[in-house]
Amino acid sequence: MPGEQKPLWTDGWLQQCIHVPSPNFSQRPQHTEISLVVLHNISLPPFEYGQQAVQRLFTNQIRADEPDDFMRSLINLRVSSHFLLERSGALTQFVSCDDAAFQAGVSRFDGREGCNAFSIGIELEGCDFEPFTESQYAQLGGLLQTLCECYPIKAVTGHQHVAPGRKSDPGHFFQWDRLRAQGLPVTTEYQWLL
């Protein structure tokens, strides 16, 4: 019908972004409340952006004949995230938020192990050694607000906070106060020992 609005979400897929389905996910345990968002950073090859390498990693398309040694070392990895936010602010979704993406690995939050089961992962194209872009912060704020409206999110935290010593992302350049200013439930406490 003319003028009819499309739903914002369909089966855990945000309709206002690019969809590139990844095979690297599992069903969440039955009756699991999705209560956490984990923020990451990623650049492939390291410190390089905009080459679609993250998309290829998350869809198992890294090839044995990659020209870069580092990229070839990733050929057998089976990882993903729910979302990727590029430097430009472009947003891609790889896994339905109703499913568990392979993003946090060995992790713990609020006394619960295995954060993949109850979290949504967002990768920011970037690294530990330089600031993120204004476009990324603008898109991230909107995405987090949307997620908090749709899911019972109780906390937004970093990979470094759920897997300290093993992970350092999104890193010290990430501006957590920008999310707090939006009223988002940010926690940057290290949760591993709780």
Q: Output the domain CATH number for residue 170.
A: 3.40.80.10
Q: Residue 44 gets which letter from DSSP?
A: S
For residue 155, what are its two tokens? 């906390």
Inter-residue contact 137 to 178 (CB < 8 Å): yes
With respect to residue 191, please indicate whether it lies within any of the assigned structural domains.
no
Question: Is residue 1 in some structural domain?
Answer: no
This prediction's pTM: 0.95
Look at residue 194 and tell me if it is in a domain: no
Is residue 158 helix, strand or coil? strand
At 6, the pLDDT band (50, 70, 90 cuts) reads confident
Helix (H) or strand (E) segment spanning residue 25: strand 25-27
In this model, does residue 1 exceed pLDDT 70?
Answer: no
Q: Give the percent of the chain with pLDDT over 90.
A: 90
Q: Residue 50: inside a domain, yes or no?
A: yes
Q: Quickly list H helices, 3-78.
A: 53-58, 69-72
Of residues 79 and 6, which shows the higher confidence score? 79
Does 123 participate in catalysis according to the annotation? yes
The one catalytic residue among 123, 134, 149, 189: 123
Cα–Cα dist 93/59, whole Å: 12
Neighbour count for residue 166 (Cβ, 10 Å): 12
122 in a domain, yes or no?
yes
The domain total for the chain is 1
Amino acid at 60: N
Specify if 91 maps to a domain.
Answer: yes
pLDDT in tens, 145-166: 999 999 999 999 999 999 998 9
Whether residue 146 lies inside any domain: the answer is yes
* CA dist., res. 194 & res. 106, Å (int): 15
Provide the domain limits for residue 141.
9-181
- State the pairing for strand pair 18-19/91-93: parallel
Predicted pLDDT of residue 194: 44
pLDDT value at residue 98: 97
Q: What are phi and psi of 64, to 5 degrees?
A: -70, -20
Residue 186 falls inside a structural domain: no
Q: Using alpha carbons, select from 43, 58, 57 the residue that is nearest to residue 173.
A: 43
pLDDT of 192 > 90? The answer is no
Give DSSP secondary structure letters for 90-104: -EEE-S-TTEEES-S
pLDDT for residue 125: 98
| 147's tokens | 């997620």
